[in-house]
Structure formats: structure tokens, C-alpha cells
Chain A
Amino acid sequence: MQVFLKVWRQADAKSEGQFVTYTVENVTEDMSFFEMLDMLNNQLVLKGKEPIAFDHDCREGICGTCGLFINGRAHGPLRGITTCQLHMRSFDDGANIVVEPWRAEAFPVIKDLIVDRTAFDRIISAGGYISVNTGGVPDANTIPVPKPKADEAFDAATCIGCGACVATCKNSSAMLFVAAKVSHLALLPQGQVERKQRALNLVAAMDMEGFGACTNTGACEIECPKEISIVHIARLNREFLKASLL
């Protein structure tokens, strides 16, 4: 099959970018989207041109490094997958595919399809963890955690920080990301000590990074490759409200 790509190219953070079109031939439906881009990049290199820069690492949907806006959807048209898990069989022969970087003020484009997501790291460093004194590892069974809570906490903990929630949100809100962290730790006994401060600090850090406010459109939970529910956003709101007012 052959596909017609329209890809955002931008030399660096300060340059003006533009869309460039490419025709990619000999694509097979078994190729992943990135293998198709790899093939295009090989051809570009052979022609002495600059290959398209895009973020990727594990290529099996667990690291959260990749993320492209493909034909108007974060991580492409399918649900519950990252860009690296998208295959060319999801597209028709002769398809036009528009490939864009995540768009958000807090995620500036560094080059082509790569954005700077260190804003997420700064949010986490504001309290998205538990402080543990060094010492012997405690026996896991000494802290009882009810199974439904453990499951819910785990659902939140599956966040890989890819940024699809921000990318798809019309307000570039990072609420689902922050909610996943706050919710995960608020549900577990280990997270109780810093529970209040965590909710306050993470929301403050999120606001400071220039992310927008949540308007509950629910687009984030549809595009999240780990299908994290906005019920966690409700819990973040509750945690923040309690921490602020009580």
C-alpha cells in the first residue's frame, strides 16, 4: 500500500514550522506506524535530507515516550493504544495522514514532532511521590489494602505520562495526569501522610506550568492509551477541595 503523509516539520524550538508532504510507497499493513516512518526516514537520509524527528523508546506501549497527533486524534484513531502500538492496517491504501506534534503552551515543540514534556516532571517533583525513609523493606502484608482500592489505585498508576490527555484537551489541561498521581496515592495507606499537601502542591505546579483548566469534556479519558477514567479527576477535585477548605 501507499500513503500520503502531511507532517509538521520544524528545525528547532525557535524556528517557524510548516507542513511537508511525503508519499510513502511499499508500506505493508503489518508495519507499525513508526516502522513506516523509519522507512520514510531511511529514504530521506539516502537522499541527503534531514529525517523526521519523533520521540519513541520501548515501542511496546509502556514507556510513554511516544505520542503523535494523527488525523486529528492523539495516538491515532484507535482507543487504548500508544502511537507505537498503531499499525498501518488501521489505514486504507492511498490514505492521507496528517501527523502533528502535541499542541500545548506547556509542551513547546523542540523539533519536528518532538515536544518538551518536562513540565510533567516538574509537576511530579512537586509531590507526586511518597517520602520513604531508608531502612529495611517492610513486609508487604503488614499493610492491608482492600482489593477494590488496590485495583483502583493500580488503574490510576498505569499512567505513563505520555501527555495525550493534554494534547487532546481543548484547554490543554493536565488534570487527568495530575488526577492519576493524586488518586493513585490517595487510595493507598502509604500515600496518607502527604495526602493534603500533595493535592495542593500538584495543582499549584500544574497551574504554574501554564496548563489550562478542566472543563470536563471527557476527551482525555477517550484518548488516554491506558484508558484512565475521569472519575480520578473527580477524586482530585475532592482531594483539592478538602485540602483547601478543611
Chain B
Amino acid sequence: MNWFFRFMNSSVGKKIIMATTGLLLCSFLIIHLFGNLFLYGGPELFNTYVERLASIKPLIRVIEVILALIFLFHIINSLWLTLSNRKANPVKYEVNRAQDNSSFFSRYMGITGSIVFIFLAVHLSTFWYRFQIDHDGGQFYRIVTGDAVGFNNPYITGLYILAMILLGFHLRHGFQSAFQTFGLRYNKYGKLIEAIAVLFWFAIPLGFVLIPIYFGLLKGGF
């Protein structure tokens, strides 16, 4: 197991953990967005969908634990990397025109990631938690669209829209960066990866943003 710990402790190994966990979280986004689309079908369809999920609770719990572990690895590993990277670069330049040689998205991964994390904490403590305590069912649609923690609350709607835009920024760099880390960015596949990346940094966050916009701004009208 020596080789394994040596690999995990190396800078490249830590980047590979970031990339692996990041891409796994990306795949979760697809499943999550798919579920969210049931909202457009109205209360009955959405509530039935959530109740179906509730009927396979043991499986869902296992998936939730795995998902939480992936998040945890991604976050703790990023903190470790950020701290060691700061240690490697303790003195800042008087003038540094970083905007001339790198993208905004690549330089502010920590900030966009942290705000998405704050969103995640709010998201879990509102929607996820309330879904767990709603035992009689039938209220799921109202929780999401209502004015307590739902999209009829302008603060919640605002936070969701902001967080999803920042998630798009995070994935604008993160998705293609993961392939670079895996060493899968040969020149001939570069364009293909960039094309798939658009799905993750633009289409999926847009899908998530449209939900608070539709149920909060258009349908709810606060």
C-alpha cells in the first residue's frame, strides 16, 4: 500500500482526487436536474416522483452517504491544496497582470466553490431537511414553490440564481481541467472535450437557473 499513499500524497495525486470527485459530482448534477424537471409537470407529478424516491429509501440513503463522502473529499482536498499552494507562493507581486495570461474562472475556483458550498448548506437545511420531515407526503411541491424556503421567497430565489451562475463559472474551468489532470487532453480531443464541457458549464447550470426564475419570478411573482 506504500505506492498508494505516495500517490495520494503527491501533488499530481491530489489533483487527480480533485478531478475524480469533481467529475462524479458533475454526473450527480445530471440526475438532480432530471428530477427537478418533474416540477414543470405540476404538483401531482412532482409529489409522486418524490414519493417514489421515498419508497426506495435504503438505496437513496446509501447514495446520499456516498455523495456526501465525494463532496467531503472534494472540499477537504481543495482546502489542503489551497493551503499548500499558498505556502509555495507566500510573497505576492507588486504588479501582477494575471488577467493577461489566465482566465477569470481558473483563478477564482476557490471563491466560486466556497459560495456554491454556502448555497449547498442552505439548500440541504431547507429543501432536503424539510423533505425528510414531511412524513404525510404531498407537500413537496409546496415546499419548493412556497414562500417559507421556496421560490416564492425572493432571497431564496436570488441565492439559487447566483449560486447556479457561480456553479457555471466553477465548471467553466473545472470540467475541462479534470480531463487535463487525467492526462486525457490530447490535442486531437481538445475540441471534443470543450464541446462536452459546454453542457456542464452552460446547459446544466442554465437548466437549474430556469427553475427559480420560472417558479419564483414568473409564476410566483413574490
A and B held together in a complex: yes
A211, B88: Cβ atoms under 8 Å? yes
Q: Of the 9-residue stretches B6-14, B60-68, B119-127, which lies at the interface with chain A? A: B6-14
Judging by beta carbons under 8 Å apart, are A212 and B93 in contact?
Answer: no
> What chain B residues lie within 8 Å of A222 (beta carbons)?
100-102
Using A105-B89, A203-B12 as known contacts, say yes or no to A219 and B98 having CB atoms under 8 A apart.
yes
Max chain B Cβ within 10 angstroms of own Cβ: one of A77, A168, A213, A233: A213
**B87 A210 Cβ-Cβ under 8 A:** yes
Contact yes or no, A213 B98, CB < 8 A: no
A244 touches B93 (CB 8 A): no
A105 to B86, CA, bound (A): 9
> From DSSP, what is the main secondary structure of chain A's interface residues?
mixed
Q: How far is the CB of A80 from chain B (nearest CB, A)?
A: 13
User: Which of B149-157, B179-187, B195-203, B212-220 is the interface stretch?
Assistant: B179-187
Interface centre among A217, A222, A239 (most CB of B within 10 A): A217
The yes or no answer to B90 lying at the interface (CB within 8 A) is yes
The residues of B that contact A239 with a CB separation of less than 8 Å are 183
Report, as a range, how many residues of chain A touch the other chain.
Answer: 35 or more
Residue interface bits A140-181, CB-to-B below 8 A is 1, else 0: 000000000000000000000000000011111100000000
Can you name the residue of chain A whose Cβ is closest to the Cβ of B80?
A213
Give A170 Cβ to nearest chain B Cβ, in Å: 6
A103 adjacent to chain B (CB < 8 Å): yes
A112 to B126, CA, bound (A): 56
Known interface pairs A203-B10, A218-B101; A241-B95 also in contact (CB < 8 Å): no
* A217 and B15 form a contact (CB under 8 A): no
Knowing A212-B84, A240-B10 are in contact, say whether A72-B89 is a contact too (CB < 8 A): no
Rounded to whole angstroms, the CA-CA distance of A12 and B46 in the bound complex is 69
Interface flag for B107 (CB, 8 Å): yes
| A6 is an interface residue with CB less than 8 A from chain B | yes
* CB contact under 8 A between A73 and B88, given known A6-B94, A214-B11, A217-B107: no
Pairs across A and B, CB under 8 Å, 17 listed: A6-B94, A72-B95, A72-B98, A100-B94, A103-B89, A171-B89, A203-B11, A206-B11, A213-B15, A215-B85, A215-B106, A234-B185, A236-B12, A237-B12, A237-B182, A244-B10, A244-B13
